Amino acid sequence: MSLAVSVDGLVKRWGTTTVVDDVSFAVPEASLTVLLGPSGCGKSTILRLIAGLEDPTEGRVRIGARDVTRVDASKRGVSMVFQSYALFPHLDVFENVVFGLKVRGVAKAELARRSARAIDMVGLEPYRDRKPSQLSGGQRQRVALARAIVAEQPVCLMDAPLSNLDAKLRATMRDEIRDLQQRLGLTMIYVTHDQTEAMSMADQVVLLREGCIEQIGSPADLYEKPASAFAARFIGLPPMNLLPAGTEGPARMGIRPEHLTLGPEGIAAEVAAVDYLGAETIVRLKTDDTVVMARVQGKTDLVAGTATRLSWRPEDAHFFDESGVRRDGL
Amino acid sequence: MRQDTLRHVYGWLLLTPAAILLVAFTHYPTVATFINSLFSKGNPIRPSRFVGFENYALMMEDPIFWKVLGNNAIFALGTIPTSIALAIVMALFVNSRLPGLGLVRMAYFTPTVLPMIAVANIWLFFYTPGIGLIDQILGLFGLPGHNWLGDPDTVMPAIIVMTIWKEAGFFMIFYLAALQNIPAELREAALLEGASRWTYFRRVLFPLLMPTTLFVLINAVLNSFKLVDHLFVLTKGGPDNASNLLLYYIFETAFSFFDTTYGATLTVVLLLLLAVFALVQFFLLDKRIHYR
């Protein structure tokens, strides 16, 4: 059982500052939507508005067919994983997981069955009796996941759940969360500032900037057809190169680093630095007016100071006007 | 070898100042008090002599001792649970983010800043028969006044109310500090799971406040035996020992009746009582408390 979520014209103001400014999007059931953006873009606030932890200044929140804008958080049918995990420090793993079931008065047999399944799913069976302080960061994260799973709510909200973990663990947990979401058929809304998480996990990405939606689309859409210069620069590592596009037409032209070819043709450039990363090499080049990054497969013989030329296929170029909005064609 | 000796000397020299203070002002007086309690009261004709536990036997038959012990129990039971409960409620209230709460916080804390003697003077004005604040208010409604401190039935409750007023604000500060260390997400997580405010308090907040409660409880118990300043101003233990407390009785015995050996006997009992309370609280409650 899973339900679609939609928000419509959501606005949140604190005094005179507008944190969320007219945000609308829909999350299809049993899919994973990532709210992506730099810190302070309002993504966490949107999640809290959906959860019911904050009241919107304007707009509505819908879960399934129900308008839940004024419904109490506990009656919205959502579970949530907090950035800090929000585990109860005085309760052991089992008690943390079954806290909500006990509060809601779930019968003993069902409580045992559901908690055993949830704890087993996240692989915490051996740690049932441990307190949060006796667990590692990754294990605490799993307790928080188990608590969300055991609630068996149709919608699961995740507030930057991996931001306190190290890089390696983050990659593992990313896969596990995505796997759980698909296995349980959850509708999941996932907040992060990490583009890797967004690209690898999302069915749909909502890219935010200063409280407004910059672009909505699949990870491939965002990468291949960024709707704005901001989107182009935010997604991709290194980010898309933006070059002045000449005197007529759009103001700027964008090219992904992997679409640049170094060779005898094109505009003149000088190699400024070479970062060898194993499978690829990132070359930083200085042209007449700007600095660009190029991605080269494997190793390169180029060294700093070498003069070279840059070229690209016309179909790989993106164009943006003065305000940064995408322009297709010239 | 010499080096080793030197190191020992050096170590002992460092410890000596603290050791002298501890021995001179804590351990020696305690032991001396106990030894004192084993002697009879001396006078110019009959010098003090060793009587063993005779003073203790006498104490067991002293009706006033049992009276003040009972009073102390009533005083402790009357003040501690109420002031702790009130402290938690006040802390929860001033911990919320409403405008103007800084003033409320200060108001709650004011009684703590006042010396007990000053507090007693203020409350003396409340309780004075006829012209006191309480009687004046009662008079407005045409109700008869009452001699609150002069009536053996009302004197203990009157003193208990005043002590709660004085203590609760002090304990509130500790609870407020503890509450500010509890992350807001815990409350949000609990509410999302469907917990009511009361359930959240009972299952999450109160257990997390237990270390503070233990600390406050030990302090409150010690205070209920230590705090007698107000008796000097308000009642002098009367009427008919109705408001007398153990420590005040010790003071009277030793410095009004000059029976120092019996005073020492009562002091030993007081020390034992306090030690037992502290140990029981520590060992019984400590196991059930979660420390972060």
CB A263 within 8 A of CB A309: yes
Which tokens hold the place of B228?
């007698």
Half-sphere exposure of A72 (CA within 13 A, CB side): 9
Instruction: Mark yes or no for CB contact A100/B191 under 8 Å.
Output: no
Instruction: Give tens-digit pLDDT for B218-239.
Output: 888 888 888 888 888 888 877 8
The C-alpha torsion from A173 through A179 and A181 to A183, rounded to 10°, is -150
Strand segments, DSSP code E, in B10-58 are none
Instruction: For residues B281 and B218, give the distance between their C-alpha atoms in angstroms, rounded to a whole number.
Output: 7
Which pLDDT score is estimated for A249?
67
Which pLDDT score is estimated for A248?
66
| Shortest Cα–Cα distance, B264 to chain A (Å) | 45
Nearest to A88 among B186, B188, B192 (CB): B186
For residue B77, give every residue at least 6 positions away whose Cβ sits within 8 Å of its Cβ, in sequence order, or none. none
For residue A117, give every residue at least 6 positions away whose Cβ sits within 8 Å of its Cβ, in sequence order, or none. A149, A150
Which pLDDT score is estimated for B281?
79
pTM: 0.80
Most B CBs within 10 Å, among A91, A92, A96, A99, to test the B interface = A99
Which tokens hold the place of B130?
């006829």
- DSSP H or E run through A10: strand A5-14
Instruction: Mark yes or no for CB contact B290/A84 under 8 Å.
Output: no
Which pLDDT score is estimated for B55?
82
Does the structure show a pLDDT above 80 at B42? no
Average pLDDT of span B30-52:
83
Mean of the per-residue pLDDT values for chain A? 90
Scanning every residue of chain B, which has its alpha carbon at the shortest distance from the alpha carbon of A81? B189
- DSSP H or E run through B91: helix B63-95
DSSP per-residue letters across A227-259: SBHHHHHHSSSSPPEEEE--SSS-SEEEE-GGG
Average pLDDT of span B181-208:
91
Instruction: Mark yes or no for CB contact A103/B204 under 8 Å.
Output: no
Instruction: For residues A174 and A325, give the distance between their C-alpha atoms in angstroms, rounded to a whole number.
Output: 32
Instruction: Mark yes or no for CB contact A74/B185 under 8 Å.
Output: no
Strand segments, DSSP code E, in A118-211 are 155-159, 187-192, 204-209
Which tokens hold the place of A2?
């899973």
> Which amino acid makes up residue A185?
G
Nearest to B194 among A51, A83, A104 (CB): A104
Nearest to A74 among B191, B203, B290 (CB): B191
Q: Say if B164 falls within a structural domain.
A: yes
Does the structure show a pLDDT above 60 at A329? no
Top pLDDT among A20 and B57 is at: A20
Scanning every residue of chain B, which has its alpha carbon at the shortest distance from the alpha carbon of A79? B192
Does the structure show a pLDDT above 90 at A88? yes
Average pLDDT of span B188-210:
91
Which pLDDT score is estimated for B1?
62
Q: Indicate the DSSP class of residue A75.
A: G
From A233, A237, A207, A209, select the one nearest A219 (Cα to Cα).
Answer: A207
Q: Say if B98 falls within a structural domain.
A: yes
From B71, B77, B123, select the one nearest B243 (Cα to Cα).
Answer: B71
* Residues in A touching B184 (Cβ below 8 Å): none
CB A13 within 8 A of CB A57: yes
Distances (CA, A) of A188 to A28, A63, A205, B233: 9, 12, 12, 68
Which pLDDT score is estimated for A1?
56
Give me the number of domains chain B comprises: 1
Does the structure show a pLDDT above 70 at A145? yes
Instruction: Give tens-digit pLDDT for A151-197.
Output: 889 999 999 888 888 888 888 889 989 998 999 999 999 999 999 99
Q: Say if B33 falls within a structural domain.
A: no
Out of A12-16, A59-63, B72-76, B153-157, which region has the weakest mean confidence (pLDDT)? B153-157
Out of A72-81, B67-76, B150-159, B265-274, which region has the weakest mean confidence (pLDDT)? B150-159
Instruction: Give tens-digit pLDDT for A210-233.
Output: 999 999 999 999 999 999 999 999
Phi, psi of A128 (to 5 degrees): -40, -40
* Residues in A touching B185 (Cβ below 8 Å): 82-84, 86
Which residue's structure tokens are 């970062």? Answer: A275
Which pLDDT score is estimated for B102?
80
Q: Say if B67 falls within a structural domain.
A: yes
Provide the domain limits for residue B161: 63-288
Does the structure show a pLDDT above 90 at B25? yes
Mean of the per-residue pLDDT values for chain B? 86
Q: Helix, strand or coil for residue A25?
A: strand
Which residue's structure tokens are 């060898």? Answer: A276
Q: What is the CATH number for B174? A: 1.10.3720.10
Instruction: For residues B187 and B178, give the distance between their C-alpha atoms in angstroms, rounded to a whole number.
Output: 15
Q: Say if B9 falls within a structural domain.
A: no
Which pLDDT score is estimated for B132?
82
Instruction: For residues B36 and B61, give the distance between their C-alpha atoms in angstroms, rounded to a whole number.
Output: 20
Q: Say if B48 falls within a structural domain.
A: no
* Residues in A touching B189 (Cβ below 8 Å): 80, 82, 86, 88, 147
CB B124 within 8 A of CB B233: yes
Q: Say if B40 falls within a structural domain.
A: no
Q: Say if B6 falls within a structural domain.
A: no
Task: Indicate the pairing of strand A261-263 with strand A291-297.
Answer: unpaired
